[in-house]
Structure 1
Amino acid sequence: MSTFTRRIRSGLLVLILTGVTVLVAGPQGMASPAGAQPTGPVGSLASYEGNRVKEAGDPKVWLVLCGQRANIPNERIYEGLFRDWEGIVTMSDVDSIGQGAGLNGAFLAKGPSAHVYLVRPEGGRKHYIASESAFNRWHFDWDKIITTDQSYLDRLSNGCILG
């Protein structure tokens, strides 16, 4: 017999059958984009997910994304994603969060549908932003979303869902 587990995470019903994850319903009962899998941090990192963090005395800012810290390489990228510089969490142990791929070239995008993504072209990934409240919680800027061809978005791999 196969193992069957049901989980509800951020409004998503996830069925896990023998190691295969099937997304049944997305936010507000709508299906999430094809292939988008909810993943994210565990343990104490959960409280930092979606936060911009920095080490005390160090100007480098990171985004905690998918349970890891992603370097925001410069002001141009930062200002192309976020509303302002308010709300950055200063920590004494940023290195306690594992380092993942950075945000080189990252931008906010949508295709012809209403789905909005954080796009990380350097890694060939897109991260579905699950809801308006998630978008606002991550401190993204609505005015920075660009519209792109769906074919471009379809070529990118799905990263974790930003909820």
Structure 2
Amino acid sequence: MKKTVCKVGIMGLLGISMISTSLFGNVSTASAQERETTYATQYEFTMNNLNQYNGLRVKEVGNPTIYLIDNGTKRGITSPEVYNRLFRNWDNVHELLTLSGVPNGTVIDGNMGLVKFENNPKVYLLDKNIHGNTVKRWITSPSAMDKYNFRWDMPIMPSWMEHTIPDGTSIHY
């Protein structure tokens, strides 16, 4: 089994250029079943533009909470049920040593989700703004859906509801 651990420091979180290095090589433990190779992936990360990492799903080593990087913040996902309603699968959740350098964003809870409206091909994320009010955030392209790993199956709401929910910031690739 391979375990990936990502090093993150004050000046870095997840860089565009990933340098994969062997940290410990083969690590033997008391039990043969426990043997695994551990690799560390070091990400050089620029803190001056956290938005470039939007769409990544991350967690800290030893902490079960998964976060979505969105608008340059880490947004905790409250439960596996909420996670499964938003994302296609559990692949590519990056495990990091720390997320302390990333500002907290609004928590993603059961009141948020993906929707479409009748007679409109656009996909929206029903989300909360910084004041806690519900907004609809247009996901501008299939590439943005893929970047965030969002599901394509979602409820279709009546068209009259589209105009009752204010627009939030769009989600771009």
What band does the TM-score fall into relative to the shorter chain?
A: 0.5 to 0.7
How big is the shift at 1:128?
0.8
CA contact (8 A) 2:49 2:72 kept: no
Paired position in structure 1 for 2:18? none
Looking at structure 2, the residues matched to 63 and 155 of structure 1 have their Cα atoms a distance apart, in angstroms, of: 27
> Over aligned residue pairs, what C-alpha RMSD do you find?
1.8
Aligned position for 1:33: none
Partner of 1:37: none
Superposition deviation, residue 116 in structure 1: 0.3
CA contact (8 A) 1:101 1:123 kept: no
Asked if 1:152 corresponds to 2:161, the answer is: yes
Match of 2:90 among 85, 96, 117: 85
Unaligned ranges ≥5, structure 2:
1-46
- Kindly state the Cα deviation for residue 102 of structure 1 after the two structures are TM-superposed: 1.3
* 1:49 is the counterpart of 2:58: no
Aligned counterpart, 1:136: 146
- Residue 47 of structure 1: CA displacement? 3.3
Amino acid at match of 2:125: L
3-state SS of 2:100 partner: helix
1:99 to 2:104 alignment: yes
Q: Structure 1 regions of 5+ residues with no counterpart?
A: 1-41
In the superposition, the TM-score normalised over structure 1's length comes to 0.67
- Give per-residue Cα distances to partners, 1:46-77, cap 9 Å, x unaligned: 33211111111111011111221111100111
User: Percent identity of the aligned residues?
Assistant: 26
Larger Rg: 2
Structure 1 contact 83–140 (Cα < 8 Å) conserved: yes
Residue 159 of structure 1 and its aligned partner are, at CA, apart by 2.2
What secondary structure does 2:106 align onto? coil
